[in-house]
Amino acid sequence: MGTSADDAAAEFHDFFERHYAELARLAHLLTGEADAADDLAADALLALWHRWDRVRTARHPAAYARGVVANLARSRIRSAVRERRRIALFWDRRPEHTDDPDIPAVVDVQGALRRLPFRKRACVVLRHAFDLSERETADTLGISVGTVKSQTSKGMARLEQLLGSRTAASQLVGGRK
């Protein structure tokens, strides 16, 4: 039994030596991040090692390994996109100067937004203040398009209740009345 484990370890070591550079290059081309490439290749090979009994009997182990790298790269890219969009929520992207802003209405809208549950607030802000599509909002928040639609609708309805009119809610889109 020890020989079989030794054989598997030797096979994996050989596989690692032959394919690590290729997998790292693939990761680099997929993500555009040289620093992340080595980490992704190493993570992929670690995942392969944990499943080595299945991988070594696969028809094309190198193709399987490339698929693992591609999936890890896709996850990394999605995470980075979500993180950038989350950060965007917290930074004001409006122009520095607005002619005659309606300060009380802006304060009212901000207060009303704070009263919404996070998911409704995030949907309303991303859709109306950042003008993201339903799909972009769903991807940013990691939820379905249907959830974005319902949460945005319910959030806007609640804002109208809190603010008393749609006119005040229009402050979300940059101070227009």
The CA distance from 177 to 170, in Å, is 6
Report the pLDDT averaged over residues 76-101: 67
Domains defined for the chain, CATH in brackets:
2-90 (1.10.1740), 103-173 (1.10.10.10)
pLDDT digits (tens, 9 = 90+) for 75-85: 888 888 777 77
pLDDT tens digits, 125-174:
888 877 788 988 888 778 899 999 999 999 999 888 888 754 444 555 54
Which pLDDT score, from 0 to 100, does residue 90 have? 63
- For the chain, the three-class secondary structure string (H helix, E strand, C coil) is CHHHHHHHHHHHHHHHHHHHHHHHHHHHHHHCCHHHHHHHHHHHHHHHHHCHHHHCCCCCHHHHHHHHHHHHHHHHHHHHHHHHHHHHHHCCCCCCCCCCCCHHHHHHHHHHHHHCCHHHHHHHHHHHHCCCCHHHHHHHHCCCHHHHHHHHHHHHHHHHHHHCCHHHHHHHHCCCC
Q: Per-residue pLDDT for 105 more than 90?
A: no
Considering the entire predicted model, what is its pTM? Answer: 0.48
d(CA 69, CA 75): 10
